Amino acid sequence: MCPYDWQGCRSHCVVRKSALDWETMNCRRKSPKSAHVFLILMLLSAIGLGACSSTNKSNQNTAVKMIHQLVPYSLHVRRPAVPGADPNVGPGGPDYQTQPLPNERFDCEPYSDLLKEISIDGLRACLSTMKSEAVVTYQMKRPPAPFYELQKGENVPPCLLQELPKIPLPREVVFESNEEGFMGCYSSRLDLEADELLWVKVPKARTVLNLTLPTAFAKARTDEEVRLLFLSWMLTPFYDSQRFIPSRVVPDVLCTRCIGEKNMSNASKSPIVLWP
């Protein structure tokens, strides 16, 4: 299997095939010695003697997995505020690393952290003023940190423009699932430059979120249920037309760094609940 070095130099072996978003494969400028090593590795790879041999295990780890259900409570997201590194540039190029580099957890955070600026109480108060149902539309915007933006219209309650003008979206999700018969760790990412997910075209409907209010919140009685409702909207652009999330396997050691050992599922503690 190709070596992973998330905080150092990204390997030629894993460009566009990384476990997590390739943009985490940041590279500090190489010394002449490390540059020579890189060239030697490329040569070995070209003649079939490098680390990226076509073994079944390697193929399994780089293949796209179609995941339907996941464990919601351990799901983490990545939403860096700066653009990622360009995987097409050469070593040491100006776009070969992000600035700043990812933190020790690769900028992973619980999905609920994206909702900190949303007042659930304020949103409930706003919805309580609605005398009839209204369909509102949110359009995906794709800066380095993507989000859904509320589209103004006559049917939009004025208080909604204040309480929920935007819904933050992850750039990448890291999650657990046992759909393959074991508890595995996976990741999926949005393409910020086109309607693509893992370089597969996403239907335009996935870039638009239509909500019927206040009905959409009718069954969300607790704050936790409201957060799960937001999670379902956050994941909308990640699902394909068959309701699967195209994903890649994340090695256990990297998954633990991202999600955190204490947050990972443990079958001995409580039954694993998959969602949806």
**pTM (global) more than 0.85:** no
pLDDT at 25: 44
Given a contact cutoff of 8 angstroms between Cβ atoms, the answer to whether 79 and 171 are in contact is: yes
Q: Which residues form the domain of 116?
A: 63-263
What does the block give as tokens for 166?
A: 């935007």
Counted domains in the chain: 1
pLDDT at 83: 66
Q: Is residue 16 part of a domain?
A: no
Q: Is residue 48 part of a domain?
A: no
Q: Is residue 14 part of a domain?
A: no
- Give ∠ CA 170-176-179 in degrees, rounded to 5: 120
pLDDT at 46: 41
Q: Is residue 128 part of a domain?
A: yes
pLDDT at 8: 35
Q: Is residue 51 part of a domain?
A: no
Other beta carbons less than 10 A from residue 242's beta carbon: 7
pLDDT at 250: 94
Q: Is residue 29 part of a domain?
A: no
pLDDT at 89: 58
Residue 175, C-beta contacts closer than 8 angstroms, at least 6 positions apart: 67, 70, 71, 72, 74, 75, 76, 185, 186, 187
Stretches where the chain sits below pLDDT 70 are 1-62, 82-100, 191-205, 267-273, 275
Q: Is residue 1 part of a domain?
A: no
